[in-house]
Amino acid sequence: MTIFITITILAFAFIVSIVYQTLWVKCSYHRIGLGKSKSSLKVVQLSDLHGRIRFINGSLSSLVNRINPDCVMITGDLASKKGQLEGVLNEIARINCPNLYFVPGNYEREGLDGFQKRVYSASEYNFIIQSLQGLNVAVLENSGSTIEWNGKKCLVYGFDNSIYGNERLTWSKEDMASADCVIMLAHSPSILTFIENKQLTYDLLLAGHTHGGQIRLLNKTIGAYKGCHVGLKQTNKRSHFYINRGLGTVKIPLRVACFPEIAVFEIGICT
């Protein structure tokens, strides 16, 4: 009887631990200094929601609004199923931020229909994009936008999903070099190959897609994305590359040693 009670307690503790690791969002804070700055641009990155908008420690919008960001960057995969999209869009509409940006992931062009994955039609994809635009979210599909910050210019450039080979550069290197800060957005970390081949310079590159492995062992990624780093990596003296763990789950609806995350960056810009 004592053994049975012990096993029951351990099993219950294990389940509680898994639920906690899957549904408790952690905010990771990072400071990226660009010279002797006196002010900073506060940027929040959200990625890979897969329909998840409610967590133990609050709704997605409430968590973001507490941070009070200047910009919110969403790097793809809003919903795994079409039925989840309305709830996600309603939650995005509750985010209080003047600058919201989005780049598409693979789950904007495909989704689960039952237990099978189905490629969306052009009209289904366009519906997602137009719905975001209707919420005043700037959708960047191989395009850029500029933010004026304390008299300085920050360029935000978003790539279409590199998983499908859709990435393109439509701004000149000269345009990018004229900016005081360059932030690049992509869904998949594979965009780094394109950026390096084009010899593009940036201050911050944000991606997702890998979920941090979703299940980690001894702080190492298990599975397909073990070659990708998790979190922030400085690629040269100027450039920083961040791979977000994401918020939702795919295939297996749980996380182990890989909490869902909201990434927050304070980017110093010389004034």
In the prediction, which pLDDT does 36 show?
59
pLDDT digits (tens, 9 = 90+) for 108-153: 999 998 889 999 999 999 999 999 999 999 999 999 999 988 888 9
Residue 64: in which H helix or E strand, if any? helix 60-67
- Domain ranges (residues) in the chain: 1-268
**CA-CA distance, 38 to 244, in Å (whole number)?**
27
The more confident residue out of 261 and 177 is 261
For the ranges 204-213, 220-229, 236-245, the lowest mean pLDDT is seen at 220-229
pLDDT digits (tens, 9 = 90+) for 44-83: 999 999 999 999 999 999 999 999 999 999 999 999 999 9
- How many CB atoms are closer than 10 A to CB 172? 9
Residues 6+ apart with CB under 8 A from 46: 60, 64, 72, 73, 74, 75, 244, 247, 262
Residues 6+ apart with CB under 8 A from 115: none
**What tokens appear for 270 in the block?**
């010389």
| pLDDT above 90 for 40 | no
If pLDDT is split at 50, 70 and 90, which confidence band does 1 have? low
* pLDDT averaged over every residue in the chain: 93
Say which CATH superfamily domain 1-268 falls into.
Answer: Metallo-dependent phosphatases (3.60.21.10)
If pLDDT is split at 50, 70 and 90, which confidence band does 90 have? very high
In the prediction, which pLDDT does 35 show?
60
In the prediction, which pLDDT does 29 show?
97
* Burial of residue 96 (number of CB atoms within 10 Å: 0-12, 13-18, 19+): exposed
| pLDDT above 60 for 3 | yes
pTM of the model: 0.95
In the prediction, which pLDDT does 193 show?
95
For the ranges 146-150, 191-195, 248-252, the lowest mean pLDDT is seen at 146-150
Whether residue 256 contacts residue 221, with contact meaning beta carbons closer than 8 Å, is answered with: no
